[in-house]
Structure 1
Amino acid sequence: MSGDGSTQHDARPGHDVPDSRGRTGLHRTGRSAAGNPDVRVTDVEVVSDGWHVLRRTTFDYRGRDGAWVSQSRETYDRGNGATVLLYDPEARTILLTRQFRFPAYVNGHPDGMLVEAAAGLLDGDAPEEAIRREAAEELGVQVGDLRHLFDLFMSPGSVTERVHFFAAEYRPGEIAGGGGVAEEGEEIEPVVVPYDDALAMVADGRIADGKTVILLQWAALNLF
């Protein structure tokens, strides 16, 4: 048995041998967490090690009555992300994206074409660097000053991702290129929406993306 509780039986892609992306040690995440004295991680199993990682973690949890119970949770780790609300304060417009989202389509969205704020995974970059990259790739906007708003866990019941929220001004004349990364199958359309129309689109369901709704609500309180 190794020092982290694994055995030779545990040798599998992503554990002690590299997975398809060359990663090992994926079963160690969470074992050293010590911030909550009422939680003791006892086992971590990599259930799926595709592009992102699905883990099943077993831990002991001490409830309010003082009793310890064993629980198990699956967590989906796709890394952390960043998003930005691009706005023109003079024209009172918001610059958003429209793209096909299969998970939304398969779960009841009429055509899967979601209107969203620019966003993406950090991929090892600082949040500010990542969102500047995404704004350029998706919308052709070179973002200047960024205003950091807050960091939120978007689906804490099962997804580990923490999203860093930003806002930044843009000018229509600054847009050049965009459309997404073709090699990744992205086909992204820029959408300029008057701010008042954006709120109406939330109300009638034309904007149904959570991070975008949060950003528009922030704008309602702080911008326009």
Structure 2
Amino acid sequence: MSKDDVVEESRETVYQGFFRMNKVTLRHRRFNGEWIGPFHRELFERGEAVCVLLVDPVREAIVLTEQFRIGALEDERSPWLLELVAGMVEPGETYEEVAVRECQEEAGCTPAALRHITTYWVSPGGTNERVAIYCASVDSADMGGIHGLEEEHEDIRVITLPFSEALKALESGVINNAATIIALQWLTIHQKEVFQR
């Protein structure tokens, strides 16, 4: 099955604000070769994002951000989440350009040796958001403080954790967002080469 097995009959914007919601009418081929539809689906137009796991290979530490997230407003622990540096891809930007821009804006650093970890669909049943995750080396000695862009209402705290403490936060559920979980699981697998042991 491929994109050729889908026919989009119409697309209507039903909401346009900070995000956009479209109503899509489509039909697609079944596995038996017949067609299903037409039917409607709402599509949350989120776009592409880039996340960066900042790793200090000398200190065996990672650098995370902490900030308020509206989607986690009902979180039992807190709507302030520990996350990777992250940002949306603007038209004409490469993933690597976004990674560098966001590291400078959110963590006050310029990442070295960006390494692609994975790219995944966040929740393809209803949104087109796709996330690319990278790993980058930093010297965390002087990292910290509050960062972010005032015009984007950002208030981002930078936190450095020993890798062992980050894993405990992952296991206890303190770290509870997909990109950070994926990146830390990747680092668990690749820690010998990343930390240059």
Instruction: Give yes or no for TM over 0.5.
Output: yes
> Is 1:136 matched with 2:104?
yes
Q: CA deviation at 1:59?
A: 0.8
2:140 alignment partner in structure 1: 172
Counterpart Cα distance in 1 of 2:174 and 2:3: 41
1:14 alignment partner in structure 2: none
1:55 alignment partner in structure 2: 22
> Is 1:68 matched with 2:21?
no
Counterpart Cα distance in 1 of 2:76 and 2:84: 18
Q: CA deviation at 1:114?
A: 0.2
Using the aligned pairs only, state the percent identity.
33
Q: Deviation per CA, 1:108-163: give whole Å up to 9, x if none.
A: 34320100010010112211011111111111011122111221111111110111
Q: CA separation of 1:197/1:175 partners in 2, compared to 1, >3 Å: closer, same or farther?
A: closer
Q: CA deviation at 1:174?
A: 5.9
Q: CA deviation at 1:178?
A: 5.7
Amino acid across the alignment from 1:191: I
1:85, 1:95 within 8 Å by CA — same for their partners in 2?
yes
1:117, 1:211 within 8 Å by CA — same for their partners in 2?
yes
Give the secondary structure class of the aligned counterpart of 1:119.
strand
Which has a greater percent of strand? 2
Please say which structure displays the higher CA radius of gyration: 1
2:176 alignment partner in structure 1: 208
> Is 1:112 matched with 2:104?
no
Of 133, 136, 151, 2:119 maps to: 151
Aligned residues: 190
Counterpart Cα distance in 2 of 1:144 and 1:177: 20
1:20 alignment partner in structure 2: none
Q: CA deviation at 1:37?
A: 3.0
2:144, 2:159 within 8 Å by CA — same for their partners in 1?
no
Higher relative contact order (CA 8 A, sep 6+): 2
Give the secondary structure class of the aligned counterpart of 2:112.
coil
C-alpha RMSD of the superposition: 1.8
2:146, 2:155 within 8 Å by CA — same for their partners in 1?
no
Flag structure 2 segments of 5+ consecutive residues without an equivalent.
Answer: 193-197
Give the secondary structure class of the aligned counterpart of 1:199.
helix
